[in-house]
Amino acid sequence: MFDKSKFFQTDLVCPVCKIKFKQLKLKGGAFRTKTRDIDLCNTYEGINPNLYSSIVCPECGYANLDHSFQNKLSDVVISVMQKELPKSKIYKKDLTGERDYESAIEAYEQAIFCANAAGHSASLLAGIYFRMTCLAKSFGSSNEDEYRLKAAEFYEKAYDHEEFPLGGKMSQTLVEYMISSLYFKLNKLEQSIYWLNFSISRDPKGLTDPKAYTMIKELWMTVKSIIKK
């Protein structure tokens, strides 16, 4: 049942069509992080915040992750969007209210459509696929690994072509950990080990990001114990 007390409305302006609209957002107290898995997907008590992290304009369909939605777009990107968005699957569909798993995935797919059309960065696409992975995981969807593989591939692409910290936030070591743990969860141990080794030999003392370095070491121990069996 929809519990109004867990949400508030926020005012947004679409960077493509410039309309103002209200978006339902979760209050901080609507969920609590219970556990964090090796792949950095959290489990939550209460409402899963990943249901609401892709924003879609109800008028033109422009979509992006919440922290990037209102970023200014170039005139070129705006005109590409104006041309491409009417062809998208959820053009003029209103996803600003309560969401279930399916509508949240639609919102992420729309963000992917926009990121591809706009030529946004691989790290943004990686972040979208990573959130989809965690959401699929918590809802028990069979698409989990399909999203996870995409997340790994886009993090690898971002690793090769973008500057650190990635997206202004993720250290080089943390990205190495992400790629390695995503491959670990996909049971692609060879790729997982490659990234662990690479990370440790690139920065043997863990100076780039000591916290992520500890995570790398822990993952290495886990992988080693599996190989031994």
The residues of the shown chain that bind Zn ion, judged by CB under 5 A, are 14, 16-17, 57, 59-60, 62
Min dist CB 19 to Zn ion, Å, is 6
Cβ proximity to Zn ion, 16 vs 73, nearer residue: 16
Cβ proximity to Zn ion, 14 vs 166, nearer residue: 14
Q: Helix, strand, coil: what percent of the chain each, to 5? A: 55, 15, 30
Min dist CB 129 to Zn ion, Å, is 23
Cβ proximity to Zn ion, 81 vs 125, nearer residue: 81
Cβ proximity to Zn ion, 57 vs 196, nearer residue: 57
How far apart CA 2 and CA 45 sit, in angstroms, is 16
Min dist CB 13 to Zn ion, Å, is 9
Structure tokens at 156: 């690898």
- CB contact at 8 A, 88 and 118: no
Strand segments, DSSP code E, in 27-123 are 31-36, 42-46, 54-56, 63-65
- CB contact at 8 A, 157 and 122: yes
Q: What angle do CA 168, 174, 179 make, to 5 degrees?
A: 110
Min dist CB 18 to Zn ion, Å, is 7
Min dist CB 173 to Zn ion, Å, is 38
Cβ proximity to Zn ion, 59 vs 84, nearer residue: 59
- CB contact at 8 A, 109 and 89: yes
